[in-house]
Amino acid sequence: QVTLRESGPALVKPTQTVTLTCTFSGFSLSTSGMSVSWIRQPPGKALEWLARIDWDDEKYYNTYLKTRLTISKDTSKNQVVLKVTTVDPVDTATYYCARDYGAFGDTWGQGMLVTVSS
Amino acid sequence: DIQMTQSPSSLSASVGDRVTITCRASQSISIYLNWFQQRPGKAPKLLIYSASNLHSGVPSRFSGSGSGTDFTLTISGLQPEDFATYYCLQTHYLHSFGQGTRLDFK
């Protein structure tokens, strides 16, 4: 059974860096063709794709946010980490991770709300 | 970057109706288009991938079509559990979602 779960701080202050972790099971990110993405959704708004990391460590970023995002993986721990620098209240959102193995988003985590506030 | 435009942004319908949601890409994306359903407070669920392929476990009343820049999601015979928000996503170049279509009871 494939599962993903997001974790990290629920509350961060403006200008800080937030580190989010996606811990998964039921698949390996060393499998050819496997990818994990991060997506976010501000309250009441649409989904926004943020970043993706592939099995071969290729990385892709949202054009408008790329200077603030860093995605990485630890295959041995079955984790994908997303760092978002210089956060602002507009970064308040539910953050999801999702798997892509032939079909983007075949499995998603439950999501976690990150609130940016002083 | 590729912009995805969904229409309508909201839609009212009744159980048993047939509804169609459209998604237009700002440039050709071949068939690299997925559809998701999201219920309030829940993570999105994959319905359709590669424009017209039904994801495992998804009821056959959902169907997708299109290629290039114009795509449609059709739900034939709405069920109560189908009232939700639907998103398209392009995976041709990076990824980008449409703004969503909210489907509610008439």
Q: In which band, very low, low, confident or very high, does the pLDDT at A118 lie, cut at 50, 70 and 90?
A: very high
Q: What tens digit of pLDDT does each residue of A57-98 get?
A: 999 999 999 999 999 999 999 999 999 999 999 999 999 999
**pLDDT at position A60:** 98
Q: For A46, which of B55, B87, B91 is closest by C-beta distance?
A: B87
**pLDDT at position A5:** 98
Residue A100: list chain B partners with CB under 8 A. 91
Contact (CB<8Å) A105/B46: yes
Smallest CA-to-CA distance from A61 within A71, A51, A53 is with A51
**pLDDT at position B90:** 98
**pLDDT at position A107:** 97
Find residues 9-48 of chain A whose CB sits inside 8 Å of chain B: 37, 39, 46-48
Q: Which of A38, A53, A104 to mutate to test the interface with B (most CBs of B within 10 A)?
A: A104
Task: Give every CB contact of residue B32 below 8 A, 6+ residues apart in sequence.
Answer: B50, B51, B90, B91, B92
**pLDDT at position A8:** 98
Contact (CB<8Å) A106/B46: yes
- What whole-number distance in Å separates Cα of residue B84 and Cα of residue B45? 11
**pLDDT at position B1:** 92
Q: What are phi and psi of A5, to 5 degrees?
A: -145, 130
- What whole-number distance in Å separates Cα of residue A23 and Cα of residue B16? 40
Contact (CB<8Å) B98/A46: yes
- What whole-number distance in Å separates Cα of residue A100 and Cα of residue A35? 5
Q: For A108, which of B43, B96, B98 is closest by C-beta distance?
A: B43
- What whole-number distance in Å separates Cα of residue A57 and Cα of residue B49? 24
> β-strand B45-49 against B33-38: which pairing, if any?
antiparallel
**pLDDT at position B8:** 97
Q: What tens digit of pLDDT does each residue of A16-47 get?
A: 999 999 999 999 999 999 999 999 999 999 99
**pLDDT at position A33:** 96
Q: Which of B5, B49, B95, B97 to mutate to test the interface with A (most CBs of A within 10 A)?
A: B95
Give the mean pLDDT per block of 10 residues along chain B (106 residues). 97 97 98 98 98 97 98 97 97 97 95
